[in-house]
Structure 1
Amino acid sequence: MGSCCSRDAAVLSAASSSSSSSCRGTAKLVLPDGDLQEFAWPVKASHVLRREPACFICNSDAMEYDGSVSAIGAEEELQPGQLYFVLPLSSLRRPLSPAEMAALAARASAALSRKGYDVFVADEEEEQGGLSATKGRA
């Protein structure tokens, strides 16, 4: 069982590493439904969470087996080269089970391997809070 947990943590780490090496200038966000959003410019967590009010964002690098899951701050910007998860508020400040770690690793791996996902780019509407998305790989 311990090897399963460490394997899942390694998969999360590998997914994070592959996401950062594939496009260092973007932040990647795995949604609860398994979709992936990629941000080509700095965006605050609060801006992204407007569409997911019962959720929070956590950085995959901060997730540890048997450690509590913590949220990034609402005014914190998603950092280029990082992989993030949108999780339900019920997961906040509680340890993830081995099954939950495995599910997140599988979700990240599947999202990163898809041929197309939303890439958000800055546009004229950005100042008014608008997002412009194009489908594709960066």
Structure 2
Amino acid sequence: MGSCFSSSEYCCCNNSVSSSTAKVISANGTLRHYTLPVTVSQVLLEMEMEMEASNSSCFLCNSDLLSYDDFIPPLDSAQQLQLTPIYFVLPNSHLHYRLTASDMAALAVKASTALGLPRKRIPISPVLEVKPTPGISRSLSVQKLQRYASRRAKMAIRSFRVRLSTIYEVSVAD
């Protein structure tokens, strides 16, 4: 059935998952299911016992409350976990800085990996750094990009060129 601590009222069930469990993604990226009702302090107690070797303290956050360029709001230790959101266990060092786009992307990847969601393969075209060089026109840089870009990127460049037009400025006399 999974690992259960008989001294507690909750159970971390990894193998058989009932319908009334909270999903918690640990600091190392593994998905844990906790039978409800369970409080934040009970989850953190188990996580800290597992992480005792690393000597790092952690906090629990609700994925629904995370916002770009905001501080990560920790959950109160007496709060009970709910069925629908996904919770993350993060080190206390994450409390003191704002979430960047790359942080949010990393959490999303961690969640999708832990939940076992299939990842779509999206072709990515190589990025070329275009530096203005004296004596070389911008059109040569575009031609170089077109040579190395994928078909989708080439279509985007063509459609962008078609949409370009001259903007005439009109000076208004007072």
What's the TM-score, normalizing by structure 2?
A: 0.49
**Counterpart in 1 of 2:102?**
99
CA deviation map 1:95-130 (0-9, x unaligned): 11222111110000000017xxxxxxxxxxxxxxxx
In structure 2, what is the Cα distance between the partners aligned to 1:69 and 1:94? Answer: 8
Sort the Cα spacing of 1:56 and 1:100 in 2 relative to 1 into closer, same or farther, 3 A: same
1:52 partner amino acid:
M
In structure 2, what is the Cα distance between the partners aligned to 1:29 and 1:70? Answer: 16
Q: Is 1:85 the counterpart of 2:88 in the alignment?
A: yes
- Contact 1:56/1:88 (<8 A) preserved: yes
**Counterpart in 2 of 1:121?**
none
Q: Report how far residue 24 of structure 1 moved.
A: 6.2
Q: 2:35 aligns with which of 23, 40, 43?
A: 40
In structure 2, what is the Cα distance between the partners aligned to 1:66 and 1:24? Answer: 34
In structure 1, what is the Cα distance between the partners aligned to 2:38 and 2:25? Answer: 15
What's the TM-score, normalizing by structure 1?
A: 0.61
1:34 partner amino acid:
G
In structure 1, what is the Cα distance between the partners aligned to 2:19 and 2:46? Answer: 25
Q: Report how far residue 25 of structure 1 moved.
A: 2.9
Q: Is 1:30 the counterpart of 2:25 in the alignment?
A: yes
2:107 partner amino acid:
L
Aligned length: 92
**Counterpart in 2 of 1:12?**
none
Instruction: Determine which structure has more spread, i.e. the larger CA radius of gyration.
Output: 2
Q: Report how far residue 93 of structure 1 moved.
A: 4.6
In structure 1, what is the Cα distance between the partners aligned to 2:37 and 2:98? Answer: 29
- Contact 2:71/2:98 (<8 A) preserved: yes
Q: Is 1:70 the counterpart of 2:73 in the alignment?
A: yes
1:42 partner amino acid:
P
| Structure 2 residue runs without a partner (length 5+) | 1-17, 49-56, 118-174
The structure richer in helix per residue is 1
The structure richer in strand per residue is 1
Q: Is 1:108 the counterpart of 2:103 in the alignment?
A: no
| Structure 1 residue runs without a partner (length 5+) | 1-22, 115-138
Relative contact order (C-alpha < 8 Å, sep 6+): which is higher?
A: 1
**Counterpart in 2 of 1:58?**
61
Aligned partner of residue 51 in structure 1, secondary structure? helix
